[in-house]
């Protein structure tokens, strides 16, 4: 991260007020930046407000980061990456499950990425690495520009 900047991790919605008060302008005076899921944004807003920290520098993914990356790459490219990682058989088994019937391809891919411990982190890196610079999702691009 840039000097004097603290990147707030995703999933930190429940502790955002504490971290913002400790690390942000009210505390250590660091400029805070972060990326969060759409459903977490109200928690971030309240936490930042409680801490007296600005909302500027926080960017919201439409659903979540996985959704942003899948849309940027396209489902076919994500399936190629799954295959290259040796998870094609698990993916094919997953899409045949009755619970997946009627779900969009993007929705199934998002769900698949969250079905096994460590998969979101592993594929998050792989999906980001597969992105063309011109295809970086808006919230991620804005976060990186804010650093």
pLDDT tens for residues 27-82?
A: 899 999 999 999 999 999 999 999 999 999 999 999 899 999 999 999 999 999 99
> Do 72 and 136 touch, CB atoms closer than 8 A?
yes
Place of tokens 């295809």: 135
Q: CA–CA separation, 86 vs 39, rounded Å?
A: 32
Report how far apart, in Å, the C-alpha atoms of 129 and of each of 13, 40, 67, 136 are: 26, 25, 16, 10
Q: Residue 59 forms beta bridges with which residues? A: 35
Rounded to two decimals, what is the model's pTM?
Answer: 0.85
The helix/strand/coil state of 86 is coil
User: Around 99, how many Cα atoms within 13 Å sit in the side-chain half-sphere?
Assistant: 6
Query: What is d(CA 70, CA 81) in angstroms, rounded to the nearest whole number?
Result: 11
Q: Quick one: average pLDDT of 85-97?
A: 97
Gap between the Cα atoms of 133 and 23, Å rounded = 31
For 95-107, what is the mean pLDDT? 96
Q: Of the candidates 14, 94, 87, which has an alpha carbon nearest to the alpha carbon of residue 47?
A: 14
List the one residue out of 33, 81, 87, 85 whose CA is nearest residue 60. 33
pLDDT per position as a tens digit, 103-133:
999 999 999 999 999 999 999 999 999 999 9
- State the residue for tokens 């504490």: 18
SS3 call for 110: helix
The sheet carrying 31-37 orders its strands as 5-8, 31-37, 58-61
């Amino acid at each position: 991260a840039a000097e004097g900047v603290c990147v707030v991790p995703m999933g930190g919605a429940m502790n955002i007020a504490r971290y913002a008060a400790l690390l942000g302008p009210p505390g250590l005076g660091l400029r805070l930046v972060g990326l969060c899921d759409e459903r977490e944004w109200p928690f971030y807003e309240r936490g930042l407000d409680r801490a007296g920290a600005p909302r500027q520098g926080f960017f919201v993914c439409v659903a979540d980061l996985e959704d942003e990356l899948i849309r940027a790459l396209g489902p076919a490219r994500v399936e190629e990456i799954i295959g290259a990682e040796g998870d094609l058989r698990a993916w094919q088994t997953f899409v045949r499950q009755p619970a997946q019937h009627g779900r969009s391809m993007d929705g199934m891919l998002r769900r698949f990425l969250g079905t096994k411990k460590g998969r979101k982190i592993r594929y998050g890196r792989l999906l980001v690495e597969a992105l063309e610079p011109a295809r970086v999702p808006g919230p991620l691009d804005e976060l990186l520009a804010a650093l």
